[in-house]
Amino acid sequence: MSTDIVITGLGATTPLGGDVRATWDALLAGRSGVSRMRDDWVERYGLPVRIAARLAVDPAGVLPRTEARRMDRCEQVAVIAARQAWADAGLGEDGVDRERLGVVLGTGIGGAATWLDQDRLLRTAGPRRVSPLTIPILMPNGPAAYVGLDLRARAGVHAPVSACASGAEALAWAFRMIRAGEADVVVAGGADACIHPLPMAGFAQARAMSTRNDEPEKASRPFDVSRDGFVLGEGAGVMVLERADFARARDARIHGRLAGVGTSSDGHHITAVDPEGHGQSRAIAAALRVAGLSRTDVRHVNCHATSTPAGDVTETVAIRRVIGDHPVLTAPKSSLGHLMGAAGAVEGVVTLLSVRDDIVPPTLNLVDPDPAVRLDVVTREPRRTGIGAAVSNSAGFGGHNVALIFTKA
């Protein structure tokens, strides 16, 4: 049985577009998905952060109305991205035995909006007004469960919750499922949609978010000396992973390979990264070992880079330690905002497309590079360059680290 794992399907809905093509084109064009929020609660609560990266396409307008009403927004985007990826893979109704089909779909916050809205309803109108669907809508495994039901997956449905590393960890978990012989095909990724007063207030109180309210498109500034925090976004990214011999037997179109995965934990702090980057270093090194690649094989790194003062520099310390100073870097959160549990999955899609097409999207708003970075970050225009292998790096509150290595098929 082949241990090579290939990607045959891609799906996404993001602040830059309602599908993979629209998102990719916008990234290459250097567009931003960040804008000023118009919700009435922004003024009502006097929030210090008034910008966010909202979805370009409302998921409630994509799904049938009755279906959308039974899901939280994060479940809606998960199902939409999964259906796109499934269609892209061309598996159809009979392409795989459902006993050999798995789903791994992570989320960082899950159905927080539903939880908070139903709590408000309970307090203002009483328990009889609370929806009977509250629990399946708010549970963190909801996105994975709805996708699993939609695809009739029976090899296992899993829901890693690893903060902002959740989507990347889902892809690593899917890789391991196939390697272990538990499935031939796994649909994997991440989803989050938590632009809501309480998460916004909590992140703002932690001083983790940018307050550049008057210049929304310039707010997310990875690696720039003036960076002041991330911009909260929403979305989903999903891949269809297959055993290589299974995919080739059905003559599937292959976008590329997931060649290696590595995970680690910092054991340092609930929110702060290890300033020496040792946890991230271990994850990258593990992914290289699994892939059977050397540091010189990696030509590109898609950075987690959230635009926080400490996190961006720490990540580059880890990259230099394990890979060196030769790879070309990019930071998609400058365009997309921070998609939380979906970030690692969407950025995994972006990394795979960079490898497939030999092009790296630009990092926006990098005007005055932090001298501590000391690496080649693509700015202004996309850069065409040969990429045999690339790392997609993710990290999350709690000290979770995930590194994924993508190569050409």
Query: In this structure, how many other beta carbons lie within 10 angstroms of the beta carbon of residue 173?
Result: 23
Long-range contacts of 406-409 (CB under 8 A, 24+ apart): 406/7, 406/256, 406/257, 406/258, 406/259, 406/348, 406/351, 406/352, 406/355, 407/256, 407/257, 407/259, 407/291, 407/293, 407/355, 408/256, 408/257, 408/355, 408/356, 409/6, 409/254, 409/255, 409/256, 409/257
DSSP 164: G
Which neighbouring-strand residues pair with 189?
105, 238
| Cβ count near 276 (within 10 Å) | 14
Looking at residue 1, its amino acid is M
Residue in the structure block whose two tokens are 């340092």 = 268
Residues contacting residue 187 through CB under 8 Å, at least 6 positions apart: 9, 82, 85, 86, 101, 102, 103, 104, 105, 147, 151, 153, 174, 238, 239, 240, 241
Q: 164 catalytic, yes or no? A: yes
CA 293 – CA 120 distance, rounded (Å): 52
Residue of 74, 164, 194, 303 with catalytic role: 164
The answer to whether 171 and 155 are in contact (CB under 8 A) is no
- Strand 157-158 with 101-106, pairing: parallel
Give the distance from CA 50 to its chain's centroid.
23
The set of catalytic residues is 164
